[in-house]
Amino acid sequence: MTTGRRGARRSETARVAILAATVRLFATRGYDHLSIEGIAAEAGVAKQTIYRWWPSKGPLIAECMLEGMLLPGRFVPRDTGDVRADLAAWLDAIFGFLIDPTGESIFRSLISAAAENVEVGVRLRDSLGAASSLVERLGRGVEAGQIPPDAPLQEVSEALVGAVIVRALSRTPLAPGDPERLVDAVIGVHR
Amino acid sequence: MTTGRRGARRSETARVAILAATVRLFATRGYDHLSIEGIAAEAGVAKQTIYRWWPSKGPLIAECMLEGMLLPGRFVPRDTGDVRADLAAWLDAIFGFLIDPTGESIFRSLISAAAENVEVGVRLRDSLGAASSLVERLGRGVEAGQIPPDAPLQEVSEALVGAVIVRALSRTPLAPGDPERLVDAVIGVHR
């Protein structure tokens, strides 16, 4: 049993080292140039150690996202009681991350990884809040009478997350008032 | 002058051969595995011929899109007088393209290419209609009193195109009524 526990501890150390190496290489070289061989060298483990847990680089990136190692965990909309202001602040936080060249590079590499691997695609959508926190915040906006009760919340959140991705792909710079306009595009609070 | 014309004709032939070869390789192998060398071999031209006109594979893909060789040209919303029905039909056409495995593979490769090359990113957004035809159709919806006059049309179109990209990245299957719900998410005709 003691040996077993030590084994588990060793595995966790290796796991964290592998994830950290993945993040470092991903952030500097992007998804295309990421290889299991390179990650193994960077983490100081054998390639087989990585392949024992992950079949390819896609699921590895997805696990880094799950651990909050690639996107900051702050992309959860707050609840101050004003859904329009809260969603605009949420967009501001994401666009603030994208203005930083490293953040922008990580985000675009994640989109590229998502295009190739469905696990990363689902994780990217969820990390930005489309699956849970964003829909929940919209739901409280409905309860507060700030969003029409028949608004399709899942689709509204997909449209918001999608707008962020379109901006990132077309490198459209953010103009003052853009977050508010994007929120108005989907929840029409101004109407 | 005759010689000059013949030269121009030769160039146009080579240009079309290069674009066609790019489309074939892109559709079968994806963006990551696309190389100028491979395109040159497929098109039967020298690498230098390609580099004379395009600095890298990104602008080459962008030109294929501009020529309508990668996405069908049908993604222009119709105008039957009913903006909700027209936008749902436009989404149906795009999702119909994505249901086909070749179409889906091309679309995801385009997203990957867009993440790496800004020209492709802008072209992808515009091919889906976010820059012109979609905004124009929304504008006629405003004139017809079907969309509130203060709706931010540019942002609405970005959100719609973005929702399509999010669906493609997360491989979310389309359920009956989804196109209408996505339209309602941004123009709220039902309210």
Distance CA A78, CA B92 (A): 34
Residues of chain B with pLDDT under 50: 1-5, 189-191
In this predicted structure, the answer to whether residue A144 has a pLDDT above a threshold of 90 is yes
Structure tokens belonging to residue B43:
């098109």
Higher pLDDT, A174 or B134: B134
Greatest mean pLDDT range, A15-19, A66-70, A168-172: A15-19
Q: Is A136 on the interface with B (CB under 8 A)?
A: no
Length of chain B (residues): 191
* CATH homologous superfamily, domain B2-66: Homeodomain-like (1.10.10.60)
Using a CB–CB cutoff of 8 Å, tell me whether B125 touches chain A: yes
Q: Tell me the average pLDDT across A42-55.
A: 94
Q: What is the mean pLDDT of chain A?
A: 86
Q: Would you give the distance in Å from CA A70 to the centre of its chain?
A: 7
Q: Residue B128's Cα: distance from chain center in Å?
A: 5
Residue A178's closest chain B neighbor by CA? B155
Q: Give the number of other CB atoms < 10 A from CB of residue A53.
A: 13
* Out of A14-23, A54-63, B99-108, least confident range: B99-108
pLDDT of residue B8: 55
**Tokens 């590079």 belong to residue:** A105
pLDDT digits (tens, 9 = 90+) for A82-126: 999 999 999 998 898 888 888 888 888 899 889 888 888 888 888
Listed by start position, the domains of chain B span 2-66, 83-187
**Hey, do A2-66 and A83-187 end up sharing a CATH topology, with the first three levels equal?**
no
Joined together, the tokens standing for residue A72 give: 């900051």
> Which among A109, A116, A155 has the least Cβ separation from residue B163?
A155
Measured CA distances, A91 to A74, B133, B186 (Å): 11, 26, 17
Q: What is the 3-state secondary structure (H, E, C) of A70-137?
A: CCCCCCCCCCCCCHHHHHHHHHHHHHHHHHCHHHHHHHHHHHHHHHHCHHHHHHHHHHCCCCCHHHHH
The complex's ipTM works out to 0.82
Point out the least confidently predicted range of A13-17, A83-87, A98-102, A137-141: A98-102
Yes or no: say if A36 and A47 are a contact pair by the CB < 8 Å rule.
Answer: yes
Token pair for residue A62?
């997805």
Q: Is the pLDDT of residue A53 over 80?
A: yes
Return the residue of A nearest to B114 by Cα.
Answer: A169
The arithmetic mean of pLDDT across residues A166-188, rounded, is 87
Higher pLDDT: B6 or A190? It is B6
Mutant choice from B169, B180, B181, B184 vs A, greatest count of A C-beta within 10 A: B169
- Band (pLDDT 50/70/90 cuts) for residue A4 is very low
What percentage of chain A reaches a pLDDT higher than 70? 91
Whose CA is closest to B123, among B105, B135, B134, B111?
Answer: B111
**Other beta carbons within 10 Å of A133:** 19
- Find which of A61, A98, A108, A170 to mutate to test the B interface (most B CBs within 10 Å of its CB): A170
pLDDT at B175: 87
3-state secondary structure (DSSP) of residue A22: helix
Q: Does the CB of A105 have a partner CB in chain B at under 8 Å?
A: no
3-state secondary structure labels for all residues of chain B: CHHHHHHHHHHHHHHHHHHHHHHHHHHHHCCCCCCHHHHHHHHCCCHHHHHHHCCCHHHHHHHHHHCCCCCCCCCCCCCCCCHHHHHHHHHHHHHHHHHCHHHHHHHHHHHHHHHHCHHHHHHHHHHCCCCCHHHHHHHHHHHCCCCCCCCCHHHHHHHHHHHHHHHHHHCCCCCCCHHHHHHHHHHCCCC
Please answer yes or no on whether B151 and A114 come within 8 Å at the CB atom: no
Q: What is the mean pLDDT of residues A52-57?
A: 91
Residue type, A101: P
Instruction: Determine the topology of domain A83-187 in CATH.
Output: Tetracycline Repressor; domain 2 (1.10.357)
> Under an 8 A CB cutoff, do A163 and B165 touch?
no
